[in-house]
Structures are given as C-alpha cells and as structure tokens.
Amino acid sequence: AVAAKPESPEASAPAEAAAGANPVEESVAIAAEDQVVEKAIELTLKVRLPSNDIREGGKKLQALAVLSKPSDSVILWSLESSAPAGTNIGSIDAKGLYTSPANITAKLDIKIVATLANDQTITDKQPLIVNPEEVIFVGCTKGNIQFPITADVFSLASGTAKLPDFSKMTKSDTVCLDKFDIPLQSWELGFPGAPELQEWFALSSKAKIILPSAGVYVFKTYSDDGSIVYIDSAKVVDNDGTHSATSKESLPATYTQGKHDIKLDWYQGPRTHIALQLFWKVPGSDKFVIVPSTAFSAN
C-alpha cells in the first residue's frame, strides 16, 4: 500500500476560500431575497362566510375580511343583487354583520362585498342565498352555523319496508337542515343535488344536540314514513316501517347538560306525502315542543 501524501497549504487554500463565507456578500444576498419576498406579497382581500345560506326573518351572519398582510385601511362592506329594484335584500353594517330581510317570497341570491377604503381596486365578494321559511333543505357538503344538521340522501329500492343499512350504500346527495320540522305535506321538489328523488329515498342525518339543562328528557318523532333517533349512539326512538304520519316517543332518560351526538334516520316510501318532526319534553315541562334550531350545532 502507498501512503497518501499530506496536502500542501497551497492546495488547501482554494478549498478553504470556497467554503468560507464573505459576510458583506452574504448580507447583500439576504437583503435582496427579502426585497423579492416583500415585493411578491401583494395586498389582497378575501371574504369568508360561515355559511352560504341563511333564512329570512332577520337572521344574522358575520362576514370576515381576510387580508394577505397587515393594513391600516378601513374595510367597506356592501351588498349586491340582481333582484328587482325595491326588493329588500337585507342589510350589512360597518363591521360586516349581515341581517336577512324579515319576509321574502322566493330565494334571494345576493353577494356580500368587502372593499379596501384607500384602494378600491382591492375587493372581493362571496355569494349568499337567503331562503324563505318553507325551504326545508339546502345544498351543502357539511353542516354549518346556519344549517348545522348534515344529512346524506340515499335512493331506495321500490318496496323498501324499513330503514336500510346505510354503510352498504352510496349516497345520492348531501343536504343540510336547521331543524327537524317538516309537517305533513305534499312532496314533489326532490333535493338540491337530486331533484328526481321524490319517493323511495332516505336521509341519515347527524349533528350535535345542545341540552339546556341536566335532567330527564323525552324525545318524539312524527314521521311519514319510518324514523329512528339515536342519542350518543343509543337508540331512543324507533318509529321505523312504512306507515302514514305516526308519532312515537322515547322512554324518559336522564342526560347531562350540554352537547350530545344525535343521529336521525328517516325514509320516504311511496309518494306523495312526507313528514318528519322531532319533539322534546325538557326537564320541568309536561309538553312536547319542536326541538328548535338553536339546539343544534355542527360540531
């Protein structure tokens, strides 16, 4: 074996020079990079809404303006709509709080607009649908602050006599509700993403239910056709089967105050009438009332 020669100082000098950093050149390079990054971050504005649907009746929705970088400029809020002149499309205040009109006769399509006061070329808008009270379902991907109940829609085989095993099925659509309050009525509308489903369909819906106090509760469904209610995964109401509008209530049970999981499955057999209402009897009361929309949460 031949021993390797040690490197001479002259040979190692270029390597050391290459490895060493010039502090002046390095600081100039960093400054240049910072300028490029700063220049690349342009000021932009995005409007965010907690929901793209809201009901009539003076309901509130808080819009949010998100800037790409800090700015001292004031945000100007406004509304746009193609509705006929004189139509009440609601109002929005200086902080982006929208209030829906008291009454409407049909769906309203509006846009919530945010604009930077000192540069009005910087603006953004988001669509919002104002729904009349009679609208039952809205299209969605999951529940939100306005319509917190998520319901997967399934097509059923003609002649289905009870609720199916949804885990073995593929959904046709997803809709959202703000409460379970569908009185007995004719049904020919279908769903936002599946208008052809007017009979032989099912909904599997989930949300959180907020119990106002600890104590004994009784739940009841009034449905056409079958319905089943689960609280914290326990079946509490079994109103299953093909039948005309029928009520069925749970046994009294004690619950803690606060949020609990609720699942309500329901199906519609032959046309043309549907019904689905969820009632509760709260601690200290002897009367059933519709569970209000304020008692549901998406999470």
pLDDT of 282 above 60: yes
What is the per-residue pLDDT across 233-267, written as a single tens digit (0 to 9) for each?
999 999 999 999 999 999 999 999 999 999 999 99
Token pair for 239: 């109103």
The pLDDT value recorded for residue 135 is 87
Kindly report which listed range (28-42, 78-92, 135-149, 194-208) carries the lowest average pLDDT score: 28-42
Cα dist from 191 to 2, 173, 221, 244, whole Å: 86, 8, 22, 21
To the question of pTM greater than 0.85 for the whole model, the response is: no
Domain ranges of the chain: 45-131, 138-297
pLDDT of 190 above 80: no
User: Which amino acid type is present at position 250?
Assistant: S
The pLDDT value recorded for residue 271 is 80
Cα dist from 270 to 165, 190, 199, 244, whole Å: 19, 13, 5, 10
pLDDT of 154 above 50: yes
The pLDDT value recorded for residue 60 is 97
What is the per-residue pLDDT across 27-60, written as a single tens digit (0 to 9) for each?
555 555 555 555 568 999 999 999 999 999 999 9
User: Mean pLDDT for the chain?
Assistant: 89
221 conformational bin, left if phi > 0, alpha if psi -120 to 50, beta if neither: beta
Q: Provide mean pLDDT across the span 98-123.
A: 97
Token pair for 297: 């949460």
The pLDDT value recorded for residue 76 is 98
Token pair for 79: 């509304």
The pLDDT value recorded for residue 185 is 85
The pLDDT value recorded for residue 16 is 44
Pairing of strands 91-92, 201-211: unpaired
Indicate the fold that domain 138-297 takes in CATH.
Answer: Jelly Rolls (2.60.120)
Higher pLDDT, 25 or 48: 48
* Domain covering 45-131 in this structure, CATH number: 2.60.40.10
Strand residues in 4-148 grouped as ranges (E)? 45-48, 53-55, 60-62, 64-67, 75-81, 91-92, 97-99, 108-116, 123-131, 138-139
CA dihedral 111, 114, 118, 119 (to 10 degrees): -60
pLDDT of 212 above 80: yes
Token pair for 43: 């000021």
